[in-house]
Amino acid sequence: MRKEELGVLVQSLKQMAAAREVVNISKKVGELIEDMTHRMLFGRCKDYQRADLKALVQETLILVGAFNIADYVPFLGALDLQGLKRRMKAISGAVDHILEKVIDEHKQDASENQGNHKDFVDVMLSLMNEMKNFHQEPSYLIEQENIKGIVWDIIIGAIDTSATTIEWLLSELFRHPRVMRQLQEELENVIGMERMVEEVDLANLVYLDMVLKEGLRLHPAGPLLLPHESIEDITLNGYYIPKKSRIIINAWAIGRDPNIWSNNVEDFFPERFIGSNIDFQGKDFQFIPFGSGRRKCPGMQLGLINVRLVLAQLVHCFDWKLPNGMLPSELDMSEEFGLALPRATHLHALPTYRLLPKVNMTTGLVNTTVNSTVYSDGQLAVYEIPQILLSQGILSPQAPASAPLPPKPKKASPLNSHAPSTSTTVSVDSCEATGLPHYAPIMVSIGVAVVAALSLCI
C-alpha cells in the first residue's frame, strides 16, 4: 500500500521534472501521508469524507494549539470566553457523524464479503464481534465509540507529525548540499541507481538514520509533547511540584540546549550521532521527539517507517534545486506556531529525475528493451537490454552501420539470462516498442556491446 502510494507520487514528480515544473513539496507530501493513513484505516475513503475530515483535522489542530486563557486562570474555563470548548464540541459532533457512517459502511461490506478483513476499521470491527461472541470481561470490550475514538486519535496523531517531519528534513537537506550528497551516495551504494528504495532497505541506511535523528532534534513534530499531569507530589531540583500539576515538556528547547549538544547546537550536523547509542525510545532524555514513558507516541514505529521511506525515495529518485536561483542559505526556515510546529511557508523545489531511465514505478525495477540480432547464417536472436546500458552510453543507437556481425554464440550462458539466445521468435510489438529497426546492422553492434557489458557486470 505504501509502495503503491509512493509510486504514484514519484510518477507525478517525474512528469513535473520533465516539464521543469516547480513542486509544492509541502502539499504533495501532506497529501501522500494523508492518502497512506486513510488507506490504512478505511481502505479507500470517499472524496467528500476525505475533504470533510481534512477540514476537521485542521480545525482541531488549531484549537488544540491555541492559547487558552483558562489554562492560566482555571475558573474562567466554565465561561469559555474564547469559544474554544464550543468549537471543539461542534468538531466532535461532525467527526462522530462521518466516522459513524464510515463504520456502518464497513459493517455492511463485511457482511457482504463474509468477514474478509482488509483495513484497520475492519480489524477493529472483527475484534469487537469476537469479544462479544466469547463473552469477554466487560472491561476489555471494544465498542463502536472506542473504534471512533481510536481512529480519530490516529488521524490526528499520524498525518501532520509525519508530513511536517519530512518537510523539515528536506528543507535541511536543501540548505546543506554536503549532507544531501552524502545521503544520496549512501543510497547509491546500498540500493544502486537501477531501482527505487524498498522498505527492507531502510535497516541498511545508517546515514539516513542519523539525518532523521538530527532533523527531529532540531524540528520535533511535537515541540511541547502533549500536556501531562503529575500523579503524585514530588520535589525536583528543589522545586516542589504538587500532584495533578499540568506538566509541559519543551522537547524543542531540550534538542537545542548547548549544555547537552555542544556549541554547534544550531547546526544541522548528522555526524554528531556517529558512534552514539541515543535512540528514539524515550530513554535518552536529551532526545525525546516521540515523548517518553507510558504516554509516549504509540505510532512511533509506523511514523519512522513512513518518514524514512518517503524521505529516502524522494532523495534517491530526484535531485532538487531551489526555485528562481535561490541559494540554500536563503531558504526561509521560519516556523509556524502550532501543535506540530510546521514550516511557516510551503517548501518549493525543482526536481530532476536521477534514477536510470525506465524504473518501473510499480515493481521498482529497471525496465528492459527487447532487441534482436540477425546472425550471419540468417538466424534471429532476441534478447533484453536493460535501459541502464542505453542510458549510461554503454550502448549507442548511433553505432556504425558497418559494424561486423558477431559470431553466433554456441550456447547462452546459464548465468546470463540477458545473453542472446539463438532461436527465439520475437513479437513485432515488443520490437516496435524499442523504436529501433528489427534487422538493421546497427543492432549487431548493440548486441555485441550488451553481451560484453553484461558479462562484465555479472
Q: Which residue do the cell numbers 475558573 mark?
A: 75
- Number of residues lying near ligand HEM (CB under 6 A): 23
221 binds ligand HEM (CB under 6 A): yes
Please give the backbone phi and psi of residue 343, each rounded to the nearest 5 degrees, phi first. Answer: -65, 145
| Least Å from the CB of residue 292 to ligand HEM | 6
Nearer to ligand HEM, 293 or 393 (CB): 293
Contact between 453 and ligand HEM per CB under 6 A: no
Part in contact with ligand HEM (CB under 6 A); list of ranges 24-32, 158-166, 351-359, 428-436:
158-166
Does the annotation list 457 as a binding residue?
no
d(CA 245, CA 227): 10
Q: Please tell me whether residue 30 binds ligand HEM under the rule CB under 6 A.
A: no
**For residue 18, how many C-alpha atoms fall within 13 Å in the half-sphere facing its CB?**
6
Rule CB under 6 A: say whether 162 interacts with ligand HEM.
yes
Separation of alpha carbons 5 and 14, rounded Å: 14
42 near 57, Cβ under 8 Å?
no
Q: What minimum distance in Å lies between the beta carbon of 325 and ligand HEM? A: 32
- Shortest gap between Cβ of 236 and ligand HEM (angstroms)? 17
**Selected range binding ligand HEM among 96-104, 156-164, 201-209, 385-393, rule: CB under 6 A:** 156-164
Q: How far is the CB of 167 from ligand HEM (least distance, A)?
A: 11
Taking the complex as a whole, the smallest distance from the CB of residue 98 to ligand HEM amounts, in Å, to 18
Mask of contacts with ligand HEM, 286-315, x by CB under 6 A? ---xxxx--xxxxx--xx---x--------
Taking CB under 6 A as the criterion, the residue among 98, 225, 448, 453 binding ligand HEM is 225
Residue position matching grid coordinates 463485511: 110
For position 33 contacting ligand HEM by CB under 6 A, the verdict is no
Q: Which of 120, 121, 124, 157 binds ligand HEM (CB under 6 A)?
A: 157
Shortest separation between residue 267's beta carbon and ligand HEM, angstroms: 21
What distance lies between CA 29 and its chain's CA centroid?
8
Binding mask 253-292 for ligand HEM (x = CB under 6 A): ------------------------------------xxxx
To ligand HEM, the closest distance from the beta carbon of 260 in angstroms equals 18
Question: Candidates 23-31, 63-71, 119-127, 152-160 — which segment interacts with ligand HEM by CB under 6 A?
Answer: 152-160
The smaller minimum CB distance to ligand HEM, of residues 95 and 225, is found at 225
Under the rule (CB under 6 A), what is the footprint of ligand HEM?
Answer: 153-154, 157-158, 161-162, 165, 221-222, 225-226, 289-292, 295-299, 302-303, 307
Binding residues: 297
Binding residues for heme: 297
